[in-house]
Structures are given as structure tokens and as C-alpha cells.
Amino acid sequence: QVRLVESGGGSVQAGGSLRLSCAISGYTAGTYCMGWFRQAPGKERERVAIIDSDGSTRYVDSVKGRFTISKDNAKNTLYLHMNSLKPEDAALYYCAASVYSFLYYRNYVPEYWGQGTQVTVSS
């Protein structure tokens, strides 16, 4: 059974940093396409960063240069390093995974999701 568990969310001031983690069980991280999504109150869910099984990455324009997605296959963990956080980055962040690559398919909905971790950014 595939299970994703996020951690690392919290409250920071604008300009601060956080590292989100997603612990993966039930499959090997290196074989799946994985990503981070976020949803703020009253807004649609947004793709933030994707990392494919070969390590290729893509980011939404608003986080390029500030966020970095990575994975540790040995620890079976997905990460999102967030720097220079802005109030508009505040949201519930989810990790997600799929056996299929969704690196280039913006509307693809991965089949596996975590429960989310909250990020709050104060100005």
C-alpha cells in the first residue's frame, strides 16, 4: 500500500526558509514521478514542483529560483526546499506521486497523495 506523509510545515516570516519532507512507503521513490502541490483558501490547487524518476524537474514560474525539489532514493523521501518565502506562498502543501510521468502534463492528477502540511508566511 502506497503511503505519503508530509512534514516540515510551519510559520515563518517573509524572506524565511522551510524544508518540507514527504516520507514514502509502499514503493521506491526512484521509480515514480513525484511532486509538490499547494492550495490556499479560496484558490485552486496549484502544481509547485515536479521531479521525474530520472531526476528531471519542473517548477511553476512563481517559485523558480526560490524553491528546489529533490529526492533521496536511499531514504525514500521527497523534499521541497523553500527559500525567500513570500506571503503568497502560504498554503496547504501536498506531496503526490504517480507511476506515470506527469512532468509535462499540467492537468494530470497523480493517484497517490499525502494529507498535507501547512505553510504560513507572515509579512
What is the per-residue pLDDT across 89-106, written as a single tens digit (0 to 9) for each? Answer: 999 999 999 999 999 998
Q: What's the mean per-residue pLDDT of the chain? A: 95
For residue 43, name the pLDDT band (cuts at 50, 70, 90): very high
pLDDT at residue 106, as a whole number: 87
Least confident of 3-7, 48-52, 78-82, 106-110: 106-110
Residue type, 44: E
Asked whether the predicted pLDDT for residue 109 surpasses 80, the reply is yes
Q: What angle do CA 88, 89, 93 make, to 5 degrees?
A: 140
